[in-house]
Chain A
Amino acid sequence: MSGVDRRPTMAVWKFASCDGCQLTLLDCEDELLPLADQVRISYFLEATSAAGPGPYDLSLVDGSITTPADAERIRHIRDVSRYLVTIGACATAGGIQALRNFADVAEFRAAVYASPEYVETLADSTAISLNVPVDFELRGCPVDRGQLLEVITAHLAGRRPDISDHSVCFPCKRRGTVCLPVAKGVPCLGPVTHDGCGALCPAYGRGCYGCFGPSGSTNLPAFVPLLRRDGMSGLDVVRVLRTFNTAAPEFAAASSALAEAERPPEAGQRDATGEPGPGQDGAAPRHRWEDE
């Protein structure tokens, strides 16, 4: 054994988030020690206060970009990272805090802080990939432990992570769950949601909430009427699409189109959620069936 440490270096970075995705890594109890044998964890404030110097072979980024300072910091992190992976709905789609993208952030700031002038913030909460190039995006609120380990393991082995971007219906059918919308009329976001949880909620009789954001192949205009059939109002649909992945383009386009359609004529600037009108235009949904 030479004294040179040949382990690749790994860093975990935090932006606007609840830290749940980083904690998922600490939650990998059985694998943490073997992991530490394989990678040198050089930067991980959640677990240690000793920050190592860059550059880093693998950077895991948790959280979204909400301030000018963070927009600066992520560019630096990109510069010192060979392979950059976003972990979780905040880093990958802007998180629940992207609800501000549909509202007036100055109004929020004035309502929440005693001296709003000291708070510097951006109008939108954005995904990391809208700020810098990203090598892999891991979804979920929070990310799945097994998938997080798979991303790291695949990186160490130099292979592509085995992470599918098909719908939650795939694992749901594979595990033999009886389909909720078909057999019970329970609304379920599974057909448009990215796999990752293994169809956990439907297995317990609850419709999918869309924690993992849009799948790689969605058709929201065809899907929304199914939620309506199963008893959701237009407002319910807007709300269910505006949770952890509110700013994911497919969900945002569908919720904006619906909010627009539901808006009472006299409500002026307010959309159907009762919040101030959309801060972003209702871009036409991307139809995957049109050959790209």
Chain B
Amino acid sequence: MTEPTRQAVMGPDGLEALRQALVRRGRTVVGPTVRDDAIVLAELTSASELPFGWGVEVEAGRYRLRRRSDRMAFAHSAGPQSWKKYLHPERVRQWTADRGPDGTLTVREEVDRPPAYAFLGVRPCDLSAIAVQDRVLVGGPHRDEAYRRRRTGAFLVVVECVEPGATCFCVSMGTGPAVHGGHDLALTEVDDERGHRFWVRAGSEAGAEVLAELPVRPADPTTVARAEEAVTRAAGRMGRTMPPVDLRDLMRDTLEAERWNDVAARCLTCGNCTMVCPTCYCTTTEDVTDLTGEHAERWRRWDVCYDLDFTHMHGGTVRRSGLSRYRQWLTHKIGTWHDQFGSSGCVGCGRCIVWCPVAIDITEEAHALHAEASGRDAEGAGAS
């Protein structure tokens, strides 16, 4: 771990002080909270809305809230939503057009004024996911303005993971459970015989300024050691792994594998995996007119590669089969994303595994493809 610029320890009351410090700066503070039997993201009007004492039990196709025996607020793995809900909203108006009485057309670009966000409780995998979306949406010559307006200056409070879920594999993807920069503040939560507390580090100037206003005490070696141990332990308790090979090569070399038929027979093409994925960014446009035809609007909304319309061109849909659509998802996430954006499109958060209603597991599919390819290689070697 790199030497933090400034560090301290605070008690749980520090979270409300932190929220207030961010609100004083005109920010909308969003964080995890319990709603509808899940830990979702919502605007926090008090730090007491954080899920103190709540954990989750996850498996492929299954998510259950459970009470913890301690007071931990961030000892839960990824929920059904991610920060893209705020940074890359599901539906945005892009422009409106009006035809005047004399027939002239006026087109107005939509420039909305989103809130200045502060995200409280970003997991390291999700911080990586934000970095991935940064590269996709504002990293190239064509910037997505709606994303840029929300992302610029968003204040990120990252909380390191000490309680990975059964579907987590951030270690395989190199994105967690420790934080490696890109945050304004980093917290690590400890609840032991010495009390419930957070080791806090500033990762930016803005973070250091906020930290200076919090009710903190100097970082003591025991708290720091306990916090570091907990994160190290978490790294050893990942519920899932990816095969230890170059996944991009694996995807490139298994395009005709039998396994795709197997997964296609199970996949509902319902699109849930893509919509919960914190890095999937695809959208479609929606042009609407009013009854008179004098007023038109263009909206863009989330769309995903499981939709038949996604590849609809003159003459019809290109990726008709479920096989070709599942394969597009998996090969894009962990294969061609590297060619397109210079990184993996998967950060190992496990959401697609949990929220697939029929329990299709991206890591299991990758392992099966790897096994099939290895078997084929072994056969090939045996025959020669």
Report which A residues bind B (CB closer than 8 A). 31, 34-35, 37-38, 149-150, 152-154, 156-157, 159, 162, 164-167, 169-170, 173-179, 181-184, 188, 190-192, 205, 216-219, 221-223, 225-226, 288-292
User: Among the listed B267, B272, B289, B354, which residue makes an inter-chain contact with A219, where contact means beta carbons less than 8 Å apart?
Assistant: B267
Contact B323–A162 (Cβ < 8 Å): no
Contact A289–B322 (Cβ < 8 Å): yes
A-B CB proximity, top 4 nearest: A289-B322, A173-B275, A191-B270, A174-B90
Contact B40–A178 (Cβ < 8 Å): yes
Contact B291–A156 (Cβ < 8 Å): yes
State which of B31-39, B182-190, B364-372 sits at the interface with chain A: B31-39
The smallest C-beta distance from B327 to any residue of chain A, in angstroms, reads: 11
Residue B23 at the chain A interface, CB threshold 8 Å: no
Residue B252 at the chain A interface, CB threshold 8 Å: no
The smallest C-beta distance from B257 to any residue of chain A, in angstroms, reads: 15
Residues of A within 8 A of B272 (CB): 169, 173, 179, 191
Contact A166–B307 (Cβ < 8 Å): yes
State which of B8-16, B56-64, B229-237 sits at the interface with chain A: B56-64
Residues of A within 8 A of B292 (CB): 34, 37-38
Q: How big is chain B's contact interface, by range?
A: 35 or more
User: Among the listed B36, B320, B358, which residue makes an inter-chain contact with A222, where contact means beta carbons less than 8 Å apart?
Assistant: B358
User: Among the listed A38, A183, A192, A290, which residue makes an inter-chain contact with B36, where contact means beta carbons less than 8 Å apart?
Assistant: A183
The smallest C-beta distance from B203 to any residue of chain A, in angstroms, reads: 29
CA distance A205 to B289 in the complex (A): 33
Residues of B within 8 A of A35 (CB): 291
Residue B276 at the chain A interface, CB threshold 8 Å: yes
Residues of A within 8 A of B324 (CB): 291
Contact B36–A178 (Cβ < 8 Å): yes
User: Among the listed A156, A183, A289, which residue makes an inter-chain contact with B265, where contact means beta carbons less than 8 Å apart?
Assistant: A289
In the complex with contacts A153-B290, A176-B81, A226-B358, A288-B320 CB distance below 8 A: yes
In the complex with contacts A174-B91, A178-B38, A290-B321, A153-B265 CB distance below 8 A: no
Contact B38–A183 (Cβ < 8 Å): yes
Report which B residues bind A (CB closer than 8 A). 35-38, 40, 61-65, 80-81, 85, 90-91, 264-272, 275-276, 286-293, 301-302, 304, 306-309, 320-324, 354-355, 357-358
Residues of A within 8 A of B264 (CB): 289
The smallest C-beta distance from A218 to any residue of chain B, in angstroms, reads: 8
- Supply 15 A–B pairs (Cβ within 8 Å), ascending by A: A35-B291, A156-B293, A159-B289, A169-B275, A174-B275, A178-B36, A179-B80, A181-B61, A181-B357, A192-B270, A222-B266, A222-B268, A289-B265, A289-B323, A291-B323
Residues of A within 8 A of B63 (CB): 179, 182-183
Contact B275–A162 (Cβ < 8 Å): no
Residues of A within 8 A of B80 (CB): 176, 178-179, 182-183
The smallest C-beta distance from A210 to any residue of chain B, in angstroms, reads: 14
Residues of B within 8 A of A174 (CB): 90-91, 275, 301-302
CA distance A170 to B274 in the complex (A): 10
Contact B291–A34 (Cβ < 8 Å): yes
Residues of B within 8 A of A188 (CB): 357
Which residue of A is nearest B261, CB measured?
A289
Contact B267–A167 (Cβ < 8 Å): no
The smallest C-beta distance from B56 to any residue of chain A, in angstroms, reads: 9
User: Among the listed B90, B286, B309, which residue makes an inter-chain contact with A166, where contact means beta carbons less than 8 Å apart?
Assistant: B309
CA distance A62 to B355 in the complex (A): 37
Contact B308–A182 (Cβ < 8 Å): no
Contact B270–A169 (Cβ < 8 Å): yes
User: Among the listed B62, B81, B302, B306, which residue makes an inter-chain contact with A182, where contact means beta carbons less than 8 Å apart?
Assistant: B62
The smallest C-beta distance from A19 to any residue of chain B, in angstroms, reads: 23
Residues of B within 8 A of A218 (CB): 268
Contact A179–B355 (Cβ < 8 Å): yes
Residues of A within 8 A of B355 (CB): 179, 182
Contact B85–A176 (Cβ < 8 Å): yes
CA distance A154 to B291 in the complex (A): 8
In the complex with contacts A153-B289, A157-B293, A173-B275, A289-B40 CB distance below 8 A: no
The smallest C-beta distance from A114 to any residue of chain B, in angstroms, reads: 48
Contact B322–A217 (Cβ < 8 Å): yes
Q: A34-B292, A37-B291, A176-B80 are in contact. List 12 more A-B contacts (CB 8 A).
A: A166-B308, A169-B271, A179-B63, A182-B61, A183-B36, A183-B38, A183-B65, A219-B322, A222-B266, A289-B265, A289-B267, A289-B269
